Amino acid sequence: MRFLFKTDYAQDLRLAKHGGHVFWYGLLMVLLVAAPLLLPEYLLAQLTFILIYGVVGLGLMLLAGFTGLFSIGHAAFFGVGAYAQAVLTGMGWPFPLAMAVGAVLSAAVGIVVGLPALRVKGIYLGIATLSFGFIVEEVFARWESVTGGNAGKTVGPVKMFGWTADSGASFYFVCLVVAVLATLACMNLLRSPTGRAFVAIRDSEISAQSMGIHLARYKTLSFALSAALAGIGGALYAHQIRFLSPDQFNIIQSIDLLLMVVIGGLGSIHGAFLGAIFLIGLPQAIGAVKDFLPASIGQAPGLKAVVYGAVLIAFVLFEPLGIYGRWLKVRTYLQLFPFYRKGLFKRQKSFQKSDRLR
C-alpha cells in the first residue's frame, strides 16, 4: 500500500500525466523551434505576437479564470511593462534586468489596484479596473519626459550579454523561451497551495474563508502576479513593435485581452494561447475574406468590431467554456464513441449554471 501511495503521489506531481502528453507537447515544441525554417517572415511575426499575447493571457487567466476577478483595465499593466522596458533599455540596461524591473513595477501597480478593489466584486470590480485603465492611459499621454507623450517612444532591439536580437527569428526564440518559462511557472503555481487557494476563492469566497484562506492576501497576490505577467508581455511587445504610444494601451486593448481569455476558455492554461491565436488570427481571416464580400460589407469600417461582438455572443450562448471547452467535448466524444450519450454535455451545462448561482 505504501508503494502504491508513493507511485500515485509521484504521478500527481508530474506535469505530463501520461505518455501522450509527452509526445504531443514534445512534437509541438519541435514545430515551434523549427518555425523560423518553416514559416515566412510575416507569419513568424504573427506567431511571435501570439507568444507575447499568450504570456499576457496567462496573467489574465490567473486573475479571471482561476481567481474569479475580472479586470477591464489590464492594458494598463501591459503598458507599464512596455514603457518600463523602453525607458530602461534606452538607458543601457540589459534586456533580462529591464524586463524583471518592469515586471516588478507592473506587480506594484497591480497591488495598488488590488487593495482598493478588495471591497468590490463583479461588475463593480470591472468598473474600478476600467477607471484605473483610463488614469494610466492619461499618465502615459501626459508624462512626456518619460513616455514621449502622444509623440510616442521608440524602442531598440533586445540586447543582453553582448548579443543582439536584430532579426525576427532571433527575437522569436527570445519570446518562445519566455513563454515556455511563464507557462511552466503558472502550471506549477496552480498545483501549489497558492493556486488551490485561488481556485477556492473563485468557486466560493465564503467556503474559502471558512477553510482559513485569507481573501485579501490571495486576491492581492493574484492581482500582483497577473500584472507581473502582463508587464513581461508588455516588455516583449515593446521590442516587437519598436514604437510605443498611449493609444496602444487604451480600453480597446483591455477589452481585446479580456475577450481573448473568455473565447480561449476561462480556467485553463491552454485557453490563454488558444485565445491569443484567435486574437491574432481573426483579423488576418477577416482581411483574407473581405475582398470576396459585397463592398458595402467588406469595406465597412466597423467590420472587425461587429465580427468580434458576434463571435463573443456566440461563445457566451453556445460554448461558455470557450475554444478549449469545445476541444474537451470533441475529445470526450472521440474517447466515448460509440458509447457517447447525446445529453452528456447538457447535464454538464446545467450543473455549471446551478454552480454559478451559489
Question: What is the SS3 assignment for 29?
Answer: helix
d(CA 286, CA 281): 9
Residue among 81, 90, 268 at smallest CA distance from 186: 268
Q: For the chain, how many residues are written?
A: 358
pLDDT-derived band of residue 344, with 50, 70 and 90 as boundaries? low
CA–centroid distance for 83 within its chain:
19
Question: Which of 163, 169, 164 minimizes the C-alpha distance to 32?
Answer: 169
- pLDDT average, residue stretch 173-187: 93
70 confidence band (pLDDT: 50, 70, 90): confident
Determine if the peptide bond prior to 36 is cis (ω within 30°).
Answer: no
pLDDT tens digits, 211-262: 888 888 899 999 999 999 999 999 999 999 988 998 889 888 888 898 899 8
Task: Quote the cell numbers at residue 288.
Answer: 483574407
Phi, psi (5° rounding) for residue 17?
A: -75, -25
Which DSSP letter does residue 267 get?
Answer: T
Task: Identify the band that residue 10 occupies on the pLDDT scale cut at 50, 70 and 90.
Answer: very low
CB 190 within 8 A of CB 66: yes
CB within 8 Å of 281: residues ≥ 6 apart:
46
Q: Which three cell numbers stand for residue 97?
A: 534586468
Which range, 50-54, 152-156, 256-260, is most confident? Answer: 50-54
**CA gap 307, 229 in Å, rounded:** 28
Whether 120 and 130 have beta carbons less than 8 Å apart is answered as no
Q: Looking at the predicted structure, is the pLDDT value of residue 53 above 90?
A: yes
Which pLDDT belongs to residue 9? 40
Burial 127-136 (b: 16+ CB within 10 A, else e): ebbbebbeeb
**Taking residues 283-312, what's their average pLDDT?**
75
Q: What is the DSSP string of 32-63?
A: HHHHHHHS-HHHHHHHHHHHHHHHHHHHHIII
How distant is the alpha carbon of residue 58 from its chain centre?
4
Please state the pTM of the whole predicted model. 0.86
User: Has residue 153 got a pLDDT over 80?
Assistant: yes
User: pLDDT category, 1, cuts 50, 70, 90?
Assistant: very low
**Average confidence score pLDDT of the chain:** 83
pLDDT for 301-317, tens place per residue?
777 778 877 888 888 78
**37 contacts: CB under 8 Å, gap ≥ 6:** none
Closest C-alpha to 192, from 352, 50, 39, 15: 15
- For residues 59 and 221, is the Cβ–Cβ distance under 8 A? no
How far is CA 228 from each of CA 63, 131, 302, rounded to the nearest angstrom? 11, 20, 33
User: Of 51-60, 126-135, 161-170, 339-348, which gets the smallest average pLDDT?
Assistant: 339-348
Spell out where the chain has E strands.
153-154, 158-160, 163-165, 243-244
CA pair distance 158, 170, nearest whole angstrom:
9
The whole-number pLDDT of residue 237 equals: 94
Tell me which H or E stretch contains 68: none
Is residue 89's pLDDT more than 80? yes
